[in-house]
């Protein structure tokens, strides 16, 4: 980033950086005017009637401490809820859930990535034991065939789309796109199909069944690596080509052509996004995609794997660091006694053993007055959630509401206290991208006015509530988190210095193909090996 004072002159990629290379998405290159916007929050705000007045940090933090303590003492810790952000750093997600669990004593923690991206995570946990991409962007570029389902990749993930376009042009990579809309990637595809809305599970399962029936399954891979095959094959009995044709609108010939393309390809990557995950059948469709790759042996080799494309800059990291009501950092369940004891020992306090409530249930809790206080960091629930009138009406029933953001958002208009936060250019930390690559960000500017990085604000809130946190830099937060999260073991700021990054890969696999509806997984968590 080239700057002069607080003016951003140019943003350019680092060629040696493993994720971007020579590419930069349009938002990363040009979408930074907000940093110096006059509409930035620069002082804490406290509500007085129907308006707000500026105040100092001490008054705002003392009010939060007093109100949170009063509500916890009168109604119990589960009367408070915490919404964190998939746009904040890993360290900030870690602190938000730690504040909720270890200081307040509730698992009422959620963020947008759970309800828009969790279906993909669930599908992958069911089948391969970990809810993240199976390889790297490099693997996608190496693939003989790429299948994209429910993703406008060229617009939503332009850096990744550039890799696919380049591989098509230079390496002859084949591309199959399945979507309701005809977009740029559809125009570039060797085969574009438009199934009926909500029918992805059916056509994917029918293609998988056809591959098995033709004897095209990778028998060695299945025998060596996969559990539950016979049950899965039985679950596919109803997914005939005739049924799929009737249900999806895709002809039998089209489905056979897709199956043949997969069979003929030496390596296959499957990419999908919110065209799949933001649907009532998102988890099962994600499971079906992963199952198709397992049946054909397209896991664990270069140029293969499942790749759910994340929606924000740190969706993967927010999930990894425990931003959900049922999981501690590292996807360790809150009701797993051994996992919970590990965190209790590290944090020096008892933790709640029962899962908390999610975003949707928090809204209902506002209306039935079981949720009395809410703390939202970096999310615009009052504008982007479904049925926003219902959400906003819930805000008005809260006894106390804290919003922490860079701007005075629609959600902030309902708050009792608004805390001014800093965007990524004004702080340090790490993000974990869609391929599970952990990358450092470096502070470019000082925070505007009295705004502060989210991690510093969270420390001050926690300490006003008696936490005694002593972190002085995000690297200390990461060190603690990495010591508790096997999937981040070995991650340090020193090893992430400059353009270095970690990318987790599967070193061993014990996999389970699952019924298209649902079958209890017998997979094992696989160890990640972090490499430079």
Quickly list DSSP for 382-437.
HHHSSSHHHHHHHHTT-SEEEEEESB--TGGGG-SEEEEB--GGGS-EEEE-TT-E
Query: Which residues lie below 8 Å from residue 320, measured CB to CB, with a gap of 6+?
Result: 90, 132, 329, 330, 331, 432, 485, 487, 488
- Res 232: pLDDT: 94
pLDDT for residue 528: 25
Note the pLDDT of residue 474.
97
Q: Say how far apart CA 274 and CA 276 lie, in whole Å.
A: 5
**Residue 519: what pLDDT?**
31
CB atoms within 10 A of CB 196: 13
Whole-number Å distance between alpha carbons of 272 and 270: 7
pLDDT value at residue 436:
82
Cβ(346)–Cβ(484) below 8 Å = yes
What letter would DSSP give residue 101? I
Taking Cα atoms as reference points, which of 274, 314, 13, 270 lies closest to residue 156? 274
> Cβ–Cβ contacts within 10 Å for residue 306, how many?
27
User: What is the model's pLDDT at position 155?
Assistant: 86
Q: Domain-by-domain residue ranges, the chain?
A: 1-36, 45-114+314-496, 135-303+507-529
| Token pair for 89 | 């750093």
Nearest to 274 by CA among 204, 205, 181: 181
Distance between CA atoms of residues 480 and 321, nearest Å? 12
Pick the CATH number of 45-114+314-496 from 3.40.50.740, 3.40.50.300, 2.40.100.10, 3.40.630.30: 3.40.50.740
Distance CA 39, CA 279 (A): 35
Q: What's the pLDDT score for residue 517?
A: 32
In the chain, which residues have pLDDT < 50?
505-511, 514-532
What was the pLDDT predicted at 497?
A: 85
> What is the per-residue DSSP string for 270-307?
EEE-HHHHSSTTHHHHHHHHHHHHHHTT-SSSTT-EEE
What is 135-303+507-529's CATH number, 3.40.50.1000, 1.20.140.10, 3.40.228.10, 3.30.1330.40? 3.40.228.10
Q: What pLDDT, on the 0 to 100 scale, is given for residue 502?
A: 54
Separation CA 298–CA 262 (nearest Å): 10
CB 459 within 8 A of CB 469: yes
């Amino acid at each position: 980033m080239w700057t002069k004072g607080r003016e951003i002159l140019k943003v350019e990629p680092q060629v040696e950086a493993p994720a971007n290379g020579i590419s930069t998405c349009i938002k990363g290159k040009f979408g930074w005017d907000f940093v110096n916007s006059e509409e930035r929050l620069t002082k804490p705000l406290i509500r007085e009637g129907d308006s707000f007045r500026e105040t100092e940090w001490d008054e705002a933090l003392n009010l939060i401490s007093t109100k949170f303590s009063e509500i916890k003492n009168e109604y119990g810790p589960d009367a408070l809820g915490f919404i964190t952000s998939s746009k904040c750093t890993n360290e900030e997600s870690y602190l938000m859930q730690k504040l909720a669990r270890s200081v307040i004593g509730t698992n009422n923690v959620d963020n947008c990535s759970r309800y828009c991206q969790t279906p993909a995570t669930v599908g992958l946990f069911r089948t391969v034991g970990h809810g993240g991409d199976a390889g790297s962007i490099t693997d996608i570029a190496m693939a003989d065939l790429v299948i994209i389902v429910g993703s406008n990749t060229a617009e939503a993930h332009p850096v990744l789309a550039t890799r696919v376009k380049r591989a098509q042009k230079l390496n002859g990579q084949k591309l199959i796109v399945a979507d309701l809309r005809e977009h740029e990637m559809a125009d570039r595809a060797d085969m574009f199909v438009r199934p009926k809305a909500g029918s992805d599970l059916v056509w994917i399962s029918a293609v998988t069944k056809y591959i098995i029936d033709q004897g095209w399954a990778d028998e060695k891979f299945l025998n060596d690596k996969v559990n539950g095959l016979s049950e899965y094959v039985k679950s596919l009995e109803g997914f005939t080509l005739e049924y799929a044709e009737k249900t999806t609108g895709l002809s039998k010939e089209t489905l056979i052509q897709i199956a043949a393309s997969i069979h003929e390809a030496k390596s296959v990557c499957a990419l999908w996004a919110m065209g799949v995950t933001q649907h009532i059948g998102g988890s099962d469709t994600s499971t079906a995609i992963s199952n198709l790759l397992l049946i054909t042996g397209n896991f664990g080799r270069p140029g293969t794997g499942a790749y759910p494309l994340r929606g924000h800059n740190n969706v993967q990291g927010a999930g990894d660091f425990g931003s959900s009501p049922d999981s501690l950092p590292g996807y360790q369940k809150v009701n797993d006694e051994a996992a919970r004891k590990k965190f209790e020992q590290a944090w020096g306090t008892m933790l709640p053993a029962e899962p908390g409530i999610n975003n949707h249930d928090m809204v209902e809790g506002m209306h039935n007055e079981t949720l009395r206080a809410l703390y939202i960091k970096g999310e615009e629930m009052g504008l982007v959630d479904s049925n926003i009138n219902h959400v906003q009406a819930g805000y008005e029933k809260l006894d106390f509401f804290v919003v922490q953001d860079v701007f005075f958002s629609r959600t902030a208009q309902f708050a009792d206290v608004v805390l001014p936060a800093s965007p990524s250019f004004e702080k340090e930390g790490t993000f974990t991208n869609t391929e599970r690559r952990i990358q450092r960000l470096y502070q470019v500017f000082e925070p505007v006015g009295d705004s502060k990085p989210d991690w510093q604000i969270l420390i001050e809130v926690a300490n006003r509530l008696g936490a005694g946190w002593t972190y002085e830099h995000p690297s200390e937060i990461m060190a603690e988190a990495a010591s508790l999260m096997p999937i981040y073991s070995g991650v340090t700021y020193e090893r992430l210095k400059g353009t270095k990054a970690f990318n987790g890969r599967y070193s061993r696999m014990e996999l389970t193909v699952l019924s298209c509806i649902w079958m209890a997984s017998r997979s094992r968590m696989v160890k990640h090996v972090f490499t430079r």
